[in-house]
Amino acid sequence: MILVFDVGNTETTVGLFTGEQLRGHWRLVTEVARTPDEFGVLLLALLERAGFDAQAVEGIAIGSVVPPVTGPLSQACALYFRVPPLVVDARSRLPVRLEVDEPLTVGADRLINTLAASQLFGRDAIVVDLGTATTFDCITADGAFLGGIIAPGVRTSAETLTRRTSKLPATELSLPTQVIGTRTEECIRAGVMYGAADAIDGLVRRLKGAWPRAEVPLVIGTGGLAETFGKVCREFTHIEPYLTLRGLQMAHAILSGGVADTLATSPFATGEYEP
């Protein structure tokens, strides 16, 4: 089994694969500082509770945009699973091309989404990843990352609204029952959710209008809110909530023969991480 980690700014999504099959997945809060031992105990407990044998884990891949988490998580994997983790970043030798001005600044999640979208669909695609930020990744069928858009995430926008207004309550991110709200909570929910949906559709249309190739790109929604927005975003053609996890599994399959090279440049291996 292969264990993979998509470490985002707000949440860390964990996936367990047997071959290409996603057997289990969990979400952890990234913002909670954890030691390697805390990570190890938590991960072992999650696997055990779901009925999986931790000793059957034979490979681990980490894609992280939060360097302070990468180190202790990598240590936990090495100590508790006895498996050297493979850290995937812009320096990893993957069949993707970063056709942007500063390739090494491309986040691991966008790199991994490029791999997954090109391998799974074999079509030009726009991947809309609904996380702390909403990212729009422009990807060609043959695995080129052309760049894209980074916009405020839906949750970030909602929290900013309620935090900066004294009488507006915090509201869960679910679709409202009607567009015209008759209670304050429903008004907020309609504004946040439908406003975000229309913004996503509008940005996708702009990207399609600027697309440098003749082929009309697919639009793939992913991330924790992908299934929710898949119901109201008219530009989405596919919903793949765990696209990044699948990309990490692919990256591990491709890079597992060169784990030592990849680890040699990670903060965990170079000693740049300080607990």
Neighbours of 197 (CB within 10 A): 21
Q: What are phi and psi of 21, to 5 degrees?
A: -90, 125
Within a 13 Å sphere around the CA of 243, how many CA atoms are in the beta-carbon half? Answer: 35
**Separation between Cα atoms, residue 224 and residue 27, nearest integer Å:** 9
With 0-12 / 13-18 / 19 or more C-beta atoms within 10 angstroms meaning exposed / middle / buried, residue 174 is exposed
Q: In 3D, which of 157, 155, 156, 139 has the Cα closest to residue 147?
A: 139
- Which one-letter DSSP state was computed for residue 256? G
Q: Which two tokens stand for residue 23?
A: 């057997």
**Active-site residue numbers?**
109
Strand-strand pairing, 86-88 and 59-64: parallel
Would you call 13 helix, strand, or coil by DSSP? strand
- Tell me the H-state helices in the chain: 36-49, 67-80, 108-121, 154-163, 184-209, 226-229, 243-255, 259-264, 267-270
Q: In 3D, which of 168, 159, 236, 141 has the Cα closest to residue 197?
A: 236
